[in-house]
Structure 1
Amino acid sequence: MTPQDKIAILQHLIQIQSVNANETAVADYIASLFAPYPQAEIVKVPFAPGRDNLVVTIGDPTGPMLGLSGHMDVVAAGDAAAWHHDPFGGEVVGDQLFGRGASDMKSGLAAIVITMLELLEAQTPLAGSIRLLATVGEETGEYGAATLTDAGYADSLAGLVIAEPSGLNNVVYTARGVIDYKVVSTGKASHSARPENGVNAITNLMKFYNAVGPLMAKHTQVDPVLGGLLHNVDLISGGEQINSIPAHAELMANMRTIPAYPNQVIYDELAALIAQLNQEDGVQLDLSYSYPEEAIPGDPQAPLVQLAKQISDQVCGHDTQVIGSGGANDGAEFLRAKGEFTSIELGPGNDSSHQVDEYVSVTEYLQAITVYEALVPAFFAQVAATVGE
């Protein structure tokens, strides 16, 4: 496959507008690339209408399995007029390829797809199998990865590489978790001139707001790589008009967790606070969560971590750093699978993710394919050597 062919695949992926939906169109396109190879096992795994995950497996099923994962959804482009390049055009200017998802993470997705296609095209003997795990809904909750994990598609993995935009000069081995929660306060409306006839939902909601900050601040342990627990109330709404006691108010908060504080610890504390406040007269607070994810623990000396660093050093000619990530990724779901394996992030991309004029370096994108094509056989050799010890 020529470099231009590889660029064209990425451009086609960017031109599919899979903004928080429509991933089936991406899955169908990727499946069509594998269709000429009967040895490739292709399975679409539905999450919702128009939202199919894609699993493609190649290689020797008697050997270890390496997972290569990327998500097919992208965030919204926002105001298209603010872009200097069509957000769904895939325009190339110099060494930069522009478009929504160019960095996060259709370049990584394209790179792992092309890696598998080139191994098939060259009829490269593999001492194991490779499984593409292309997911829906990563940007809004990792529910595609959850669907695949629950269906058992990650149970046989010996290792997992997620092609998120770490930049090829970084291997991410640990990541924060996330908890998004909502608290709804239900009161009773009345005229503001007769507040004794109502129950102020905002006042009751503020009781929670004033208590939850100090409660979360008690978690003072700091991870040497990820830092401390983060808690932010980011959305508050309530009331209908200025002269009415509000019957409804709600807040939403985002937490970034660390391995020292498993999510269940936070759930228990928030539930206890809600229960305590609901004992007060007139207080009715309800707590709910949206797709929480555990923090990903890791070992910087794990064999896959060090192997990925070594290969990236060799291919790219730099000193690859082994780091942690402040953002959650699909690995948090895949690690729920049966068996134990190391999950890393290594992929092309940069800090333009989710921004206007998002782009990826064409050079880095093509280098990523070279990195993955070197990593696959090296991983199988590494596993074989470990088994033989």
Structure 2
Amino acid sequence: MKLTDPTQTLAALIRCPSVTPEEGGALTTLAEMLDRLGFRNDRVTFSDEATPDVENLYSRLGSGGPHLMFAGHTDVVPVGDEAAWTQGPFGAEIVDGEMYGRGAVDMKGGIACFVSALARLIERKGAPEGSVSLLITGDEEGPSINGTEKLLAHAKAKGESWDAAVVGEPTNPAEMGDMIKIGRRGSLSGTLRVDGVQGHVAYPHLADNPLRGLVMLADALLDPPLDAGNERFPPSNLEITSIDTGNTATNVIPARTTARFNIRFNDMWSAETLADELRARLERAARQAGLRPGRDPVRYTVEFDQRSSPSFLTRDDALIDALSEAVREATGRTPALSTTGGTSDARFIKDYCPVVEFGLVGKTMHMVDERVALSDLESLTGIYELFIERWFERQRSRAG
């Protein structure tokens, strides 16, 4: 395998069926590539109650500073209906200039390009004056309990520290060079339960339909909007994702109903202040007559998921500028600096060092026939190579 060729490095990774939480040979294959480049590899498995064991990899090249981290994951989502794929999901077949396979863009492609970028840089001018590390988990697409969060703590306990990090998630909406993620919205999930009195639909005065109360409470969660957003973040948004009564009869008023919801929030909120706001809205709405004239206040409970994700914004100009310059030089595009999208493992890394995200075009991630253009692999490899070089130059300049 030629490590300077991202087509070859990606094919080797795709052929490893590493569906969460299975390692599938992906970390072994990656460790072998990094060993050839002079990295020191640390394989570690983490466990937790009621979750599967997960293997992870931390690799470092060099011993001094400055220290740049690349983070990502080799685990992939299930293939779904394999018969619906036009090419084998783990075959890494190339058709019309595109490589097919689960993880091609999310995110084995990003890892392959970073490895090839380092290989090219080392071949051209030697290893960077400092250190480069790869922090790779097998738990990003799963519960994210035995992965990046624990691997960071494990590495720190062994004396590791970092000056900056890049996460290789697919960040570009349409074309290479479209977008760099410089932060992420937070995520908070909750469960709202409304209790009523079960009864016959023909005798509603003898019952209390909890769905009437739920409609009132849900409306209070949704309106007015939580905020209007700000310069760096879009407005916070709450979505109700399910409503369930467990009732299969059409002539029975249910005894209770449950709604689940999720909020993606900007840096105008924390999980705590947002939960307080939503509790206040529910309390006010519960006392309104509305759809329940003559009834007592709605009887409800609300619980929030303890594993919320905070919003964050990276303000490291040296990191952002080095990556932006590399993108412009390689593609001719000026990337948008964005905080849109879902959560990623950057939410854990931001507690250790400044972090940004940049990877492939994400149009086919998690889809049947996930695939990546070979031209995009070449483009991302070139961007990463330029970025690594520019970032270390800036660090030396600042130190001097």
- 2:221 is matched with 212
* TM, length-normalised to structure 1: 0.83
Q: Deviation at 1:165?
A: 1.3
The residue aligned with 1:326 is 340
Are residue 237 (structure 1) and residue 244 (structure 2) matched? yes
Give the SS at the match of 1:386.
helix
> Is the contact made by 1:45 and 1:148 (CA closer than 8 Å) also made in structure 2?
no
> What do the CA deviations read for 1:102-152 (whole angstroms, capped 9, x no partner)?
112110022224445667788934322112111244345654333334445
SS in 2 for 1:352: coil
In 2, are the aligned partners of 1:293 and 1:332 still within 8 Å (CA)?
yes
- How far apart, CA to CA, are the structure 1 residues paired with 2:162 and 2:24? 24
Structure 1 stretch displaced more, 158-167 or 116-125: 116-125
The equivalent residue for 2:21 is: 21
- Which residue, 115, 137, 154 being the options, matches 1:135? 137
Following superposition, the deviation at residue 65 of structure 1 comes to: 1.4
Q: Give 1:127-276 correspondences, 5 Å limit.
A: 127-139=129-141, 142-143=144-145, 144-151=147-154, 153=156, 156-167=161-172, 168-169=176-177, 170-187=179-196, 189=198, 200-215=209-224, 217-220=225-228, 222-240=229-247, 241-273=249-281
Give the gaps of 5 or more residues in structure 1.
Answer: none
Q: Bigger shift: 51-60 or 147-156?
A: 147-156
- 2: CA distance, partners of 1:156 / 1:88: 35
TM-score norm. by structure 2 comes to 0.81
1:311-359 Cα offsets, whole Å, 9 max, x none, are 2333x2422313204212221221123xxx4311121233222233221
Give the alignment of 1:357-368 within 5 angstroms: 357-368=369-380
Q: Determine the structure 1 residue equivalent to 2:357.
A: 345
SS of the residue corresponding to residue 251 of structure 1 reads: strand
> Counterpart of 2:340 in structure 1: which amino acid?
G
1:246–1:223 CA distance, 2 compared to 1 (3 A): same
Distance in 2 between residues matched to 1:182 and 1:2, nearest whole Å: 51
In the aligned structure 2, how far is the partner of 1:373 from the partner of 1:259? 32
1:55 alignment partner in structure 2: 58
Q: Could you tell me the percent identity over the aligned residues?
A: 24
- For the residue of structure 2 that corresponds to 1:212, the secondary structure is helix
Matched residue, 1:112: 114
What secondary structure, in the 3-state scheme, does the structure 1 residue paired with 2:313 have? coil
Distance 2:259 2:142 in 1: 18
Residues 180 and 75 of structure 1: is their aligned pair in 2 closer, same or farther, counting only changes over 3 Å? Answer: farther
2:290 alignment partner in structure 1: none
Q: How many residues align?
A: 380
Is 1:295 aligned with 2:311? Answer: yes
Pick which of 199-208 and 373-382 moved more: 199-208
User: How far apart, in 1, do the equivalents of 2:87 and 2:393 lie?
Assistant: 44
- Which residue is equivalent to 1:380? 392
Distance of aligned partners of 1:295 and 1:336 in 2 relative to their CA distance in 1, 3 Å threshold:
same
1:5-37 deviations in whole A, cap 9, x for unaligned? 642432232233334432464333323434567
Structure 2: distance between partners of 1:261 and 1:145: 25
Give 1:42's aligned residue. Answer: 42
Contact 1:199–1:282 under 8 Å retained in 2: no
Q: Determine if contact 2:239/2:263 at 8 Å carries over to the other structure.
A: yes
Residues 39 and 218 (structure 1 numbering): CA distance in 2 closer, same or farther, change over 3 Å?
A: closer
Could you say what secondary structure the match of 1:112 adopts? helix
Q: Compared with structure 1, are the counterparts of its residues 229 and 85 closer, same or farther at alpha carbon in structure 2 (3 Å cutoff)?
A: same
* Match in the other structure for 1:307: 322
Distance in 2, matches of 1:304 and 1:78, equals: 38
The answer to whether the 8 Å contact 2:2/2:8 transfers is no
Note the C-alpha offset of 1:228. Answer: 1.5
Whole-angstrom CA distance in 2 between matches of 1:313 and 1:260 = 31
Q: Runs of 5+ in structure 2 lacking a partner?
A: 288-295
Instruction: Give the Cα separation in 2 of the matches to 1:24 and 1:51.
Output: 11
Classify the secondary structure of the residue corresponding to 2:260. Answer: strand
3-state SS in 2 of match to 1:227: coil
d(CA) in 2 for partners of 1:97 and 1:385? Answer: 40
Contact 1:237 1:251 in 2 (8 A): yes
Deviation at 1:306, TM superposition (A): 1.2
Letter paired with 1:55: Y
Distance 1:255 1:349 in 2: 26
> Matched residues in 2 for 1:39 and 1:298: separation?
28
User: Is residue 102–residue 358 contact of structure 1 (8 Å, CA) maintained in 2?
Assistant: yes
1:201 positional shift: 4.1
Q: CA deviation at 1:212?
A: 0.7
